[in-house]
Chain A
Amino acid sequence: MAKIGVFVCQCGNNIARTVDTAAVAKDASEQNGVVHVEDYKFMCSAPGQEMFKKAIKEKGLDACIVAACSPKMHEATFRKAAEAAGLNPFKVEIANIREQCSWVHDDKEIGTAKSKDLTHMMIERIKFNRPLERYVMPLTKRTLILGGGIAGIQAALDLANAGIEVHIVEREPSLGGNMARLSETFPTLDCSQCIMTPKMVEVLDHPLITVHAYAELQKLEGFIGNFRATILQKAKFVIDDLCTGCGECWEKCPFSVESEFEMGLVKRPIIYIPFPQAVPTVPVIDKTECPKILKDKCGLCAQVCGPDCIDFTQQDEIKEIEFGAVIVATGFQLMPNVYREYGGWRPPHMTPKKLTKKERAALPRSGAGRLVDVINGLEFERLASASGPTGGQIRRPSDGKIPETVVFIACVGSRDCNKGVEYCSKICCMYTAKHTMLYQHSVHHGKAYVFYMDIRAGGKGYEEFINRAQNEGAQYIRGRVSRLSKKGDKILVKGADTLTGQAVDVEADMVVLATAMVPQGDAEETAQILGIGYDKHGFYSEQHPKLMPVDSSTGGIFLAGTCQGVKDIPETVAQASAAASKVLALFSKEELQRDPEVAIVDQEKCMNCWDCVTVCPYLAIDRVELKDRNGNFRKWAAQVNPGLCQGCGLCNTACRSKSIELQGYTNEQVYAQITAFGGEFV
């Protein structure tokens, strides 16, 4: 015979206002198996919990119902208290009589009747609760960080400084990401590289951090605490340990291609470091362009290299490393192809090249498509950067002239349901204001116009920054731009001023588009490698939008920075540190305890339809061979990896042979609960 205790909470007046808790307690006490009831003002308070523990010990209770708030709130609290009193925590259940009852009803009679029902149902259910034991898993205290931008760098430093071993995988030859491209940062106008590069050096020099530059994650297997990553180290054709970063090779390289880091504004050699402050300062050879590798011609870099560190025979290398946690910090890109919509075209390099007929035919034809001086925000950053192609002097790409009039267009691609993305890119208002300032600080007599929809400057010191930009002379025009076209050597910007209701034409020397921030082009593939969720845009989904903003949908994988959603630098850094602290919390124990409320398979009943494998969003179900005592193959069956299972129950519902059960939510429990429903259907 069960010995069940029922503890009814009044929650101050929250529950007691619409539920007669004494009546609920009295009713419960009359139920079969109930040996103890309490009705108390605050069950979750310290005296309330003491009362709970005391009852378990003194009455020898073997199961408890707490009729109180949502299990999301205090299930953990009472399960912990029960454990302290010597009762298996999974023998405690919550009857939610607050969120699902007192808060949604006004009538005390109805509220009381419903609370009684909810409590009955739990009493019947708990008779089938089994005492479950938590799974214990080993834990590899090593963290993989994907992406070496500011988010990855911050998370790596926080972890390494706390004594955790970190590996950063960065696909470019250098750390830095998009932040390294920026000239100055809002709202303080401090130099991006000046605050960034010391951190990059610190990462490289840290004894606990290993940087895999020019590498990519190929595969991630395993589960929280026990991941196994396959990392592809792309061949650099330069021996890391020997290279001194002297620069002889890239200075002598006779060939050049568009520089990715400089957004194609200038060219770079084929053996290159992306930018002068690159970390590590080890060049790589672009094997898709190098004539030595392609046709066995040249090889000049190897001849000039003092320490003899160039090795044309180097091959891609696969590394397999075990990790306990992963932080995804893969960053963003600016929306590609918006130029087309606005008639702009990305220049191949600073001096305009005469296009062949074929190249012209490939360009968009409408109006322009040849407007070299229409650039995007990151290109403007490079033009304004002291280490950029123009040495920080703002010159327009077509002819190198200093622009007298610059038009900045906000919300290009953002907040645009038809041609772009619906969301607000959030940082553009601020960086456009910054651009107007950078421009006017560089060109004192220059005129800056900003076409905007709304100014969204929510942040510390942000509104003040916008005011400053306006006070420094930027002309803000509220309205959209309908067309950009060439007029002489200028660009005619046709727009509207919706505050005065007039059409506005501006003849600009250069136009800067504040293009929408979107996830990396391969964000979805990366998510599939990692087994994490993503939204329709390709941003990675957090576990809970408010309460778990850095956890991905998969245990042990955390998110940092713009791969999760649009963010500015302070927010990115904050999220990176949050992700690091999550990893530290995970690594604070010697081994990992996993909730036993996961699916288990009755493998004898399993009939191998593999529907469970198909529906499992966490890749937690494996197909295994069952063998007889002689080791011969007997049958196939599904098997749940409790390290990966999140207890969502999808496999449970999909299983045709009813051979999968979710522990803690078994059919017996749920049927008992439903059968006990004593109310009337309305």
Chain B
Amino acid sequence: MSEKPVRIPYYPGCTLKTKALGFERSAMDCAEVIGFEMDELKDWNCCGASYPLTKDNLMGLTAPTNILVEAEKRCQKEEVDPNLITLCTFCYNTLKRTEYAFQQDESKLETINAFLDRKYDGSIRVVHYLEYLRDVIGFDNVAKMVKTDLSKYRVAPYYGCLLLKPKKEIGLDDPEDPVILHDFLDALGCKVVDFPGQVDCCGSYLVMREPEKVSQLSYDILAEAAEYGAQALVTACPLCQSNLDKSQSDETRFSGLDGVPVLYFTQLLAIAFGLDTENHQLEDHFIDPRPVFAAAGADGESD
């Protein structure tokens, strides 16, 4: 990699600073190894995740636009490529769809600019960490940096919805038949478990109102993954991670499944790079992945 690490503006979002702290930390550590720096925006606000971007409602675009303005200012000041990297799929989804909305209809951008009394030129390209690895770094190059032999682990990719859908706006991969996490795991040297439930719904926000339903959906996904031989699942979405993981803590409802740990893809990447994972909060998962990956050197504070 180059001498001076590339600095890319980075938008974390709320979850990455609270529940999914391990996601952010592991991503940052891995970025250092790969050779880029995630440069957190200074003045960032909520991405608006829980407000759906309905067809004609421009209000939904205001929060993401504020973020994009910050990123644009940063890029112009530091004279770097106008990219904004994200980790959380909710943030990625709202930001990417805002980018798409402006690309399709510039009048929306004008309206929002007038409303916010700010000046956004529409230059920022939103990229997901995975997308950056695939398109800029290249999974082949990632594979070269892998230090730990993961070849005996059977890991299943779990995509969920927000990383891929809607296809037209996100365009990261085929929403029904995605391969990006497969290829990522392939690069890490794991045995990729290709199971049909990889794009099924985890229940998402229904967890607030009908947690039993979410437990059921999550259990179905996990049970299927286990049936296909998965020892662990990786995902890019904090809500999927939370739902899938938490459903396994519910001892009363679904037994008969030996816990399947659900990791963020960067947590596994850190293990593959042989990094010190002490800070990566592996222990915060309901199903602790450390016993599974102990031989690969996964460590951290024990409970």
Contact = CB atoms under 8 A, between A and B. Distances in A.
Between A365, A369, A485, the greatest number of chain B beta carbons within 10 A of the residue's beta carbon is seen for: A365
B196 A365 contact: no
B179 interface: yes
A447 interface: no
Contact of B177 (A365, A485, A486, A487): A365
Nearest to B174: A366
Interface in A363-387: 364-369
A365 B182 contact: yes
A364 B177 contact: yes
A41 interface: no
Contact of A366 (B196, B224, B227): B196
A495 to B, nearest CB: 14
Contacts of A367: 194-198
Interface string B175-217: 0111100100000000000111111100000000000000000
Contacts of B196: 343, 366-368, 483, 485-486
Nearest to A488: B227
Nearest to B228: A486
A39 interface: no
A176 to B, nearest CB: 36
The interface size bin for chain A is 10 to 19
Interface string A481-513: 001011100000000000000000000000000
Interface in A621-653: none
B179 A365 contact: yes
Contacts of A404: none
A341 interface: yes
Contacts of A343: 196
Contacts of A485: 196-197, 224
A340 interface: yes
A532 B294 CA distance: 70
B154 to A, nearest CB: 16
A485 B199 CA distance: 12
Contacts of B197: 367, 485
Contact of A365 (B194, B200, B224, B227): B194
A343 B179 CA distance: 15
Nearest to B220: A494
Contacts of A369: 177
Interface in A312-340: 340
A364 B224 CA distance: 19
A341 B182 CA distance: 19
Nearest to B159: A366
A486 B227 CA distance: 11
B178 to A, nearest CB: 7
A367 B200 CA distance: 10
Contact of B198 (A340, A364, A366, A486): A366
Nearest to A340: B177
A483 B177 CA distance: 12
A103 to B, nearest CB: 41
Contacts of A366: 174, 176-178, 196, 198-199
A369 B182 CA distance: 15
Contact of A341 (B176, B224, B227): B176
Nearest to B227: A487
- Most chain A Cβ neighbours within 10 Å, of B174, B182, B195, B196: B196
A611 to B, nearest CB: 35
Most A CB within 10 A of own CB, among B179, B194, B197: B194
A364 B198 CA distance: 13
Interface in A145-173: none
Interface in A339-366: 340-341, 343, 364-366
Contacts of A365: 177-179, 182, 194
Given A366-B174, A367-B196, 9 more contacts: A365-B179, A365-B194, A366-B176, A366-B177, A366-B196, A367-B197, A367-B198, A368-B196, A485-B196
7 contacts: A341-B176, A343-B196, A365-B179, A365-B194, A366-B196, A367-B195, A483-B196
The 8 closest A-B pairs by CB, nearest first: A367-B196, A485-B196, A366-B177, A364-B177, A366-B176, A365-B179, A365-B194, A365-B177
